[in-house]
Amino acid sequence: MYQNIESDFYCISRLNATHSIGCQTNYGGNVGVVFVVENDDDLEWVLRKGKSAPYIPALYISHFTKDILLKLRDSGRISGAILLNRKQSARPEGGFSPDNTCPNYGFGLYTNKYANYAYCPANEWNPKNPATNLMYIDWRIPIYLLTDEASIRNLTKCFNDFNKPINGSERNWPLCAVQLNSRMNAAVNTPTCMRRNNLPFIPLSNPILFCDPISSYNIIATLFPTSDNVTVNNRSVIVVATRLDSFSLFVNKAMGAYSVITSVITLLSVAHTLAQNVAKLSKTDKNVLFAFFDGENWDYIGSSRTAYDMKRKNFKPIDHFTSNYRPAKLGLEHISHFIELSQIAPFESSNTLWIHRDPISNQYAYVNKTVTDLIQLIKKKSSNSIHVNKSDAQSPLPPASFQSFLKEDLNISGIVLSNYEKQYTNKYFNSFLDFENRTNNETIKFLANITSLVANTIISLVNDQEFDVKANETISFTFLWMANKKNKENGSCICSSCFLTEALSPAFLDDSVDWESTSYSTWTESVWRMSAARLFLKPSLTQESSTLFAGLVIFLLSFIIIYILRERLPLILQTNGDMIYENNVSFQNHISREIQHYDVSGTEVTFSNPNRKDIVTTQL
Amino acid sequence: MANRGDTVRDDDQLVAATNCSDFNCISGQSPQRLMANDVSENSAFGARRAANTNREVELDEEEEIKYGAKHIIKLFIPVSICMLLVVASISSISFYTHTDVYLVYTPFTDQTVDTSTRVWQSFANAFILLGVIIVTTIVLIVLYKFRFYRVITGWLILSSFFLLFLFSSMYLYALLQVYNIPLDYFTVAVALWNFGIVGMICIHWKGPLLLQQTYLIAICALMALVFIKYIPEWTTWVVLGVISVWDLVAVLCPKGPLRILVETAQERNESIFPGLIYSSTVAYFTNSATVNTTMADTENEEGGNLTDTVPVAFVDPSQSNRPTVSSNQSVSNAQNQYELMEEERGVKLGLGDFIFYSVLVGKASSYGDWNTTLACFVAIIIGLCLTILLLAIFKKALPALPISIAFGLTFYFATSSLVQPFADKLANEQFYI
Amino acid sequence: MTVMEFFGCGLIAFGPPFSMFCLTICKDPIRIIILISAEAEAGLQKVSEVGVQNPVVTDRLTLSYVAGLGFGIMSGAFSLVNVLADAIGPGTVGLHGDSPYFFLASAFTTLAFILLHTFWGIIFFQALDMKNYILLAYVFFCHLSVSALTLFNKSQSYAASIPPIYIITLVTAGLAFKAAGGSFNNVKAACVSRRN
């Protein structure tokens, strides 16, 4: 009767201080008649011609654009949408990035305070494409992604068998329908749903959660272990950072290969290379801090929290993992250089590396000098295989974690390394299509070169005597973080300075709760219980109501017939009564008892037929 | 239950859990019995038997079985309503079908251990629970024996208070969640207050019979739902078995606590506390009726008893809150006496029986198969029917659990493992046998 | 939503038995007890014999009618209750090429079986009382053949199963009517007398 289809990838609801974005289904799910849209005529059918609304159109990626989806939704004739995209399907040439053209605008350094740079006035970092801003629309309908071959086949088969118009005319009921169910608990905005979370608790009951702040952990490591009882010199720590998260319109389907992973690999590789040569680095009072910030796509959650903590001298590991390790409580003034790796791998073959600077902090002489020196150093260290270019000194930083630190303290000198100058080269930034299936040797080679470049730059910054290292060119996607393979040996202890810090926006901290904050991320994610999608045949209203009508008629008819029968039964069964029982000897006994009974009481105590008395009397 | 391990909340739950199993003990143990129509009836009949002919004896008996049948139906309806309520709740409110927290009386709650461990753990849980029940029963008997009526009444009032307020608010909360209904605190508070207070008045003081019965059914359903939720999966089945054996022992053994309770109550010509017993007729008239008929009976012998018991019945503070066992009636004429006697001939069923019947059916329905649920329902009703027939034969208080629960358990396991797969297959192929 | 289908099919299958229950049984407690415990009837009778002579139980006709109906309702409920539970939901059958009339066919077959069980009950009781082995054999083979007819349902040849089943039901109803002591003349007489 029902056939479940893939329901792993769907759009969920998220909220900030003022809005909610994403998808929502009715309580119990949205039902709609399936319509596979292959061309504009089909679209027209769903939008106007078809008479079986609500529909749930199944679109291929070519028709899965913001304009079409909005048109469909605003027509009021759809109750959901499905994107059909097989694993081998080609990616759209025009790009597919559901993020904003100016990611994280309104947060970071360039807010209204520096209006010249706010809202990307000069250039939009994320190039406009058909899917632009899909992520930030309050759809109010469910949107699902099907990638599974079997599910797509079942859905299209069901459509072809039952729904596909023949010669332009509508098919008869029952029609193939789909039910999408991923009910989101949260609504309105973060202040509302957080307030609802804190409703008084009824004992023994099941408290319902509406939303959770988007939060996770930053991964932090230092090259040399630190201790909280040793003082750290000001401007002595070099921070090498990257972001850890990507997103897509569909939950559980955000690989972020070029948006994130290449930078993460490079940073891991830098750390690995430096750690291998740690003995060669003479005793120095400098240190290197490797930072992987999480939640950066949601208005810089990880970095803003880290900068917030550092400013308040409260930068410490979360308790329940590394309780014994007490690293130095670093502050913003300890940071000497900040090097951020952001989308570092070339999306299309290129060997250019762009260095971005912040025009505001570079107005300070000290910062300007340090940054200029750093850029010189990088240029010096760059080999032939990498061209290092500076972006325009007056153009602002791209969206980057570094902005969070500058926002707290403009005296930090830093740069952002990337593969783009004015626009992302990655056409699939923050989308489910941002993946790389093949082993790309050129990219790996390039990443290895960048590793060497960054590692050598850091060595020069840390060490007095310079020496060059070369990263292993076989770095591949086999780091534990990626592969997560279980150690097949008996287990081992790793002595490490690595620790986790909380990546929860300062807006949600107990001592400074501000759900309507405009300076820190207020993103929360709705709680939902389940996601389900199933195919079935939907009967016509006529069929349903005629069944009900038939039921009612039969019931009433039977009632009347039985009523009449009951009234006349004594007459109908009258004369033959004695014949039935005459052979039954044992029954005579009972009858005689009955007679006695009547004799005594004179009333009917039994429920036997009134005619029974007649029978009995005649027998007597 | 809270799935986020918050220690403060956990503590709350433990306290609450302790409370709720107190109710269980009260409502669960003492009332598991059917009471024949009290001494009055027997003695009344006895009196008439002595005077009448054989034929009339038969008439009496016929009348009696007819009344019996009427009363069986009068019990069928509330028992069915209670089970229906529980089944409806179980199948629509998922809150009651899964839990992470359990009663403190069932310490072995690990659902992941292997079968043999789970079996002995279930038995251990069941016996611990049974131990608690036995202890509270004995406490109750001792209190009753030494006439600590105020303590018992207080205990009953407290437990029904918790049931009516805490469990009903819990139920309401789950219901609102399931159907996604927004409701403001003010309305909830007013509704709960009215529900609870009216319930307390009806159960412990006076109110229309129908309302009182409704509240008793509601209490049983709530209690059954709590049992279904907070007792581990397998333990529930063992508890049902163990408790019905205990019921058998407690009611039928010469020194069984419930037997002592019933006999003491009969000696004192009192009715059992209204918070423990569902009666198909007005429970409150029992006193006066008893008095009347005994008076009409053998004046000398019972007269002494009468003077003993009547003061207790009317003067004892715990009894004084009973509804108008008005002096009018106790001095009414013979005609009135007869009517009273008629009215008072009801069958009484302990609330604990309601609860455990509902637990069985509810648990069966929690697996989502309607055949099993239906089978258990019918099995319990048949069991109840047989018990009442036995009651008509033996004319003494009988345990209502053993037959019904034995039927119910047999039908549950037989249906869920044998009949249901077969019936499903037949239904899919549309083959009818 | 096919809640409508649910109620429709439910009323088709259980509407007539429900009317029978309401109009002929629910007023009398003993009948309800017999209805519910139809299967435990032997035990019930034994108990009532041990206890008191109950004239109600001895009315064979009513007893057979009520017991048959009880048995029919139980068997109908067992065969339809899970199907009905599936009907509550947005969909209907037919996705894998099954007939869209699945629910209706199930409901109608169930109704026929409930009625048949009632009639069989009446005939069977009378046949045993009167030692009429032909009637006994009729009930036996009728049951067998009706069940065999439902084998057509699997291949969705409802036309081959349901009409014959209803014809057999009508024939059985006639036999039951006759066994209960009715005759065509009586029907006429009843109608006439009512008119007068």
Work out how many domains chain C is built from and give that number: 1
A539 contacts in C (CB within 8 Å)?
A: 2, 5, 91-92, 100
Cα distance between residue C183 and residue C186, in whole Å:
5
Shortest distance between the Cα of A509 and any Cα of chain B, in A, equals 19
pLDDT of residue B430: 85
Burial class of residue B54, CB neighbours in 10 A (0-12, 13-18, 19+)? exposed
Cβ distance of B431 and C154 shorter than 8 Å: yes
Task: Tell me, yes or no, if B22 is annotated catalytic.
Answer: no
Q: Which partners does chain B have (≥3 C-beta pairs < 8 Å)?
A: A, C
Question: Does residue C52 surpass a pLDDT of 80?
Answer: no
B95 contacts in A (CB within 8 Å)?
A: 205-206
DSSP bridge partners of A341: A417
Cβ distance of B174 and A205 shorter than 8 Å: yes
CA neighbours within 13 Å on the CB side: how many for B6?
A: 12
- Pairing assessment for the beta strands A387-390 and A352-356 based on DSSP bridges: parallel
CA neighbours within 13 Å on the CB side: how many for A333?
A: 6
Cα distance between residue B385 and residue B61, in whole Å:
18
The number of C-beta contacts closer than 8 angstroms across A and B is: 46
A342, A417 Cβ separation under 8 angstroms: yes
C43 contacts in B (CB within 8 Å)?
A: 386
* 12-51 of B, contacting A, C-beta below 8 A: 12-13, 16-17, 20
Minimal CA–CA distance to B270: which of B305, B234, B246?
Answer: B305
Work out how many domains chain B is built from and give that number: 1
Q: Is C130 helix (H, G, I), strand (E, B) or coil?
A: coil
Cα distance between residue A143 and residue A146, in whole Å:
10
Shortest distance between the Cα of B135 and any Cα of chain C, in A, equals 36
Identify the DSSP state of C38: G
pLDDT of residue B194: 93
Minimal CA–CA distance to B342: which of B129, B137, B63?
Answer: B63
Assigned token pair, A366: 């000290």
**Is residue B12 a part of any domain in this protein?**
no
Report CA dihedral (B8, B10, B14, B16) to the nearest 10 degrees.
80
pLDDT of residue A481: 41
Is the interface score ipTM higher than 0.90? no
pLDDT of residue C38: 57
Assigned token pair, A274: 């430096």
CB neighbour list of residue A61: distance below 8 Å, 6 or more residues apart: A83, A85, A89, A91, A92, A96
Assigned token pair, B79: 């028992």
Question: 3-state secondary structure string, A161-194?
Answer: HHHCCECCECCCCCEEEEEEECCECCCCCHHHHH
**Is residue B133 a part of any domain in this protein?**
yes
Cα distance between residue B408 and residue B384, in whole Å:
11
Q: Is C95 helix (H, G, I), strand (E, B) or coil?
A: coil
Rounded to whole angstroms, the maximal C-alpha distance in chain B is 74
Q: Which domain holds residue B118?
A: 68-428
CA neighbours within 13 Å on the CB side: how many for B415?
A: 24
Cα distance between residue A168 and residue A171, in whole Å:
9
**Is residue B283 a part of any domain in this protein?**
yes
B120, B288 Cβ separation under 8 angstroms: no
For C9, which of A547, A549, A574 is closest by C-beta distance?
A: A547
Cβ distance of C53 and B73 shorter than 8 Å: no
Cα distance between residue A89 and residue C32, in whole Å:
66
| pTM for this predicted structure | 0.75
Kindly give the residue spans of alpha helices, DSSP state H, lying in A63-137. Answer: 66-75
Minimal CA–CA distance to B204: which of B289, B112, B145, B273?
Answer: B273
Q: Is the link from the previous residue into B182 a cis peptide, with omega within 30 of 0?
A: no
Mean pLDDT of chain C: 80
Report CA dihedral (A217, A218, A219, A225) to the nearest 10 degrees.
-110
In this structure, the number of other CB atoms found within 10 A of the CB of residue A583 comes to 11
B378, C74 Cβ separation under 8 angstroms: yes
Angle, helices B209-230 vs B168-179, to 10°: value is 70
Cα distance between residue A299 and residue A107, in whole Å:
6
Residues of chain A scoring pLDDT < 70 = 201-206, 282, 320-323, 349, 437-440, 464-468, 470-494, 570-620
Is B54 touching A (CB cutoff 8 A)? no
CB neighbour list of residue A251: distance below 8 Å, 6 or more residues apart: A9, A10, A11, A12
Residue of A nearest to B1 (CA): A206
Task: Tell me, yes or no, if B353 is annotated catalytic.
Answer: yes
| Set B10, B11, B247, B369: catalytic member | B247
A208 contacts in B (CB within 8 Å)?
A: 177
Minimal CA–CA distance to C27: which of C3, C62, C78, C71?
Answer: C62
Flag the least confident range among B53-67, C55-69, C160-174: B53-67
> In percent, how much of chain C has pLDDT > 90?
21
| Set B11, B353, B369, B424: catalytic member | B353
In this structure, the number of other CB atoms found within 10 A of the CB of residue A375 comes to 16
pLDDT of residue B26: 27
Domains of chain A by start residue, with CATH = 3-114+126-209+530-538 (no CATH), 215-504 (3.40.630.10), 575-619 (no CATH)
Average pLDDT for C41-61:
51
Average pLDDT for C55-73:
76
**Is residue B309 a part of any domain in this protein?**
yes
Element (H, E) at A500: strand A499-504
Cβ distance of C113 and B374 shorter than 8 Å: no
E runs forming strands in B60-178: none
Element (H, E) at B24: helix B7-29
Q: Give the type of residue at A554.
A: I
Q: How far is CA A141 from CA A81, A145, A310, B86, B109, in A?
A: 8, 13, 42, 35, 41
**Is residue B416 a part of any domain in this protein?**
yes
Cβ distance of B55 and A208 shorter than 8 Å: no
Residues of chain B scoring pLDDT < 50 = 1-59, 282-344
pLDDT of residue C93: 81
Q: Which tens digits make up the pLDDT trace of C2-12?
A: 788 889 999 99
A321, A336 Cβ separation under 8 angstroms: no
Cα distance between residue B383 and residue B405, in whole Å:
8
Burial class of residue B41, CB neighbours in 10 A (0-12, 13-18, 19+)? buried
pLDDT of residue B68: 61
